[in-house]
């Protein structure tokens, strides 16, 4: 072991080894992988994923990813399985055994018992010539040349590759199911991620005031409307109540710089025409992206050409999606 290497060099070498291993494993995506996807899609039960040690941790992560993308999955610790947890396995299930060596004692004891349940077995291993590979119905190969640590002992590269293959399986299943962002939102209703996927403009804007002025109104009267509604802006409409502009704090500052006397000015003379809008029924995330794109703090919510509300950046901040 070279003790003179600096920390950055060690970190970069570790990441490079793991990245190279993931790229290398691409060549092992074969007919077995494709068949596993079809089998999981058609199974009547759940995908039960098992392992011990670091493999158990990876199994839990893969289970979480599968459940969140529409594939029912549960974790079963291999050591606990032979002490009662085997009772969760049904013939209509499939079981995936994760093991670097494929010769772990707990897995070797468990595999014949799993066979008796009638459930089909998938092996996710880093060793093609192993007990699991010889006895599983399907083998997903996560072959690695070496671990990232200098002694080639600590599970690092192997666990990274196992997790990457699990992600590849989850995404392949997601695509095959036609899993949409709306489906994803159903499984992730909480937190900022969930809100980005399901929260709509309509859920927010009705809580706000609706400052609207006619284009023929005098500026003085319009300023009073803006002040009263406390949104820092007012939508400007014509005689047919169609949106024609917006008057903001910025327009007010520009007007004061240009005019000494604005007592006779109408709002149409100083407003901003063609304001940015968001359609009623759109997702709040789209409104946020639009505000960011145009570097603005508010959008007028419209239904066709009719003004129905205002949406402010602070609304999105309060909802936690920024």
Do residues 14 and 109 both lie within one domain?
yes
Answer yes or no: is 210 within a domain: yes
**Alpha-carbon span 154 to 143, nearest angstrom:** 16
pLDDT of 195 reads 65
Inside any domain, residue 311? yes
Domain boundary among 179, 213, 239: 179
> What is the pLDDT at residue 1?
55
pLDDT of 2: 59
**Does residue 25 sit in the same domain as residue 111?**
yes
| Residue 188: inside a domain | no
CATH number of the domain encompassing residue 265: 3.10.580.10
Domain termination residue (choose one: 126, 147, 179): 179
DSSP strands (E only) in the chain: 47-51, 73-77, 94-99, 120-125, 138-141, 212-214, 233-237, 243-248, 272-273, 277-279, 298-303, 306-312
The domain tally of the chain equals 2
Q: Tell me: do 105 and 171 sit in the same domain.
A: yes
pLDDT of 194 reads: 60
User: Helix, strand, or coil here: 249?
Assistant: helix
Specify if 152 maps to a domain: yes
Q: Which position has the token pair 């006619």?
A: 214
Instruction: Decide: pTM greater than 0.75.
Output: no
Residue 314 lies in a domain: yes
Q: Which domain holds residue 241?
A: 201-319
Give yes or no: residues 164 and 296 share one domain.
no
For every residue of 162-197, DSSP letters joined together read HHHHHHHHHHHHHHHHT--HHHHHHH--SHHHHHHH
Tokens for 163, please give them. 């997790």
One domain for residues 16 and 53? yes
pLDDT at 262 (0 to 100): 86
Classify residue 155 as left (phi > 0), alpha (psi -120 to 50) or beta: beta
Chunked mean pLDDT (size 10), the chain, 322 residues? 76 94 95 96 96 95 93 94 89 96 92 93 94 95 92 92 97 90 65 66 89 91 84 88 90 90 89 92 88 90 90 85 66
Integer Cα distance of 37 and 59 in angstroms: 17
Residue 193 maps to a domain: no
The pLDDT value recorded for residue 225 is: 85
For the chain, the 3-state helix, strand and coil shares in percent, each to the nearest 5, are 50, 20, 30
58/173 same-domain check = yes
CA atoms within 13 A on the CB side of 161: 33
| Helix boundaries (H) for 199-322 | 219-229, 249-258, 284-294, 313-319
Establish if 195 belongs to a structural domain. Answer: no
What does the alpha-carbon distance between residue 294 and residue 123 come to, in Å, rounded to a whole number? 51
Residues 92 and 208 both lie in one domain:
no
19 and 135, same domain (yes or no): yes
The dihedral sign for the CA sequence 134, 137, 141, 147:
negative
- Domain harbouring 165, CATH code: 3.40.50.10490
In a domain, 2, yes or no: no
> Is the domain of 250 the same as that of 111?
no
């Amino acid at each position: 072991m070279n003790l003179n290497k600096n920390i950055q060099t060690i970190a970069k070498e570790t990441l490079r080894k793991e990245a190279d291993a993931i790229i290398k494993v691409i060549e092992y995506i074969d007919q077995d992988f494709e068949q596993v996807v079809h089998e999981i899609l058609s199974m009547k039960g759940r995908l039960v994923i098992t392992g011990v040690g670091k493999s158990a941790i990876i199994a839990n992560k893969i289970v979480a990813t599968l459940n969140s993308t529409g594939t029912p999955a549960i974790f079963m610790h291999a050591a606990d399985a032979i002490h009662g947890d085997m009772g969760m396995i049904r013939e209509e299930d499939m079981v995936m055994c994760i093991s670097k060596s494929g010769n772990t004692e707990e897995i070797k004891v468990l595999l014949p018992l799993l066979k008796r349940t009638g459930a089909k077995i998938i092996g996710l291993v880093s060793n093609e010539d192993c007990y699991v590979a010889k006895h599983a119905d399907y083998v997903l190969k996560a072959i690695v040349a070496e671990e990232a640590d200098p002694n080639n002992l600590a599970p690092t590269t192997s666990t990274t590759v196992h997790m990457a293959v699990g992600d590849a399986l989850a995404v392949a299943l997601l695509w095959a199911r036609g899993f949409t962002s709306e489906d994803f939102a159903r499984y992730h209703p909480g937190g900022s991620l969930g809100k980005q996927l399901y929260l709509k403009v309509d859920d927010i804007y009705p809580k706000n005031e609706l400052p609207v002025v006619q284009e023929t109104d005098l500026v003085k009267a319009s300023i009073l409307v803006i002040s009263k509604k406390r949104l820092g802006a007012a939508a400007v409409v014509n005689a047919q109540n169609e949106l024609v502009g917006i008057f903001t704090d910025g327009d007010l500052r520009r007007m004061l710089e240009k005019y000494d006397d604005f007592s006779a000015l109408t709002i149409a003379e100083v407003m901003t025409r063609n304001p940015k809008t968001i359609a009623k029924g759109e997702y709040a995330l789209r409104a946020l992206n639009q505000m960011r794109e145009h570097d603005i703090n508010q959008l007028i919510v419209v239904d066709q050409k009719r003004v129905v509300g205002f949406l402010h950046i602070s609304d999105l901040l309060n909802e936690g999606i920024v």
